[in-house]
Amino acid sequence: MLFLLWLVVPLLGVLWFLNFTTFLKNLKNGKNTHNQNVLGAVLTFHQTSC
């Protein structure tokens, strides 16, 4: 359980942040954001289920 709190949760937070910044860059440049939307939903679901 301690492993989950110290390693997995911060790692998911970093992945979520990187996905969010990529989403904002793509949104600003008018590119497709579907992949970032799906990945963000999966990461958010995983973080709330831990």
**Within a domain: 28:** no
What domain range is 38 assigned to? 2-22+33-49
Whole-prediction pTM: 0.75
Residue 27 included in any domain: no
Q: How many structural domains does the chain have?
A: 1
Exposure class string for 5-41: b at 16+ Cβ within 10 A, else e: eeeeeeeeeebbeebeebbeeeeeeeeebeebeebbe
Q: Would you say residue 7 lies in a domain?
A: yes
Asked if the structure places residue 43 within a domain, the reply is: yes
pLDDT tens digit string along 2-50? 776 788 888 888 888 999 999 999 999 999 999 888 888 888 787 666 5
Within a domain: 10: yes
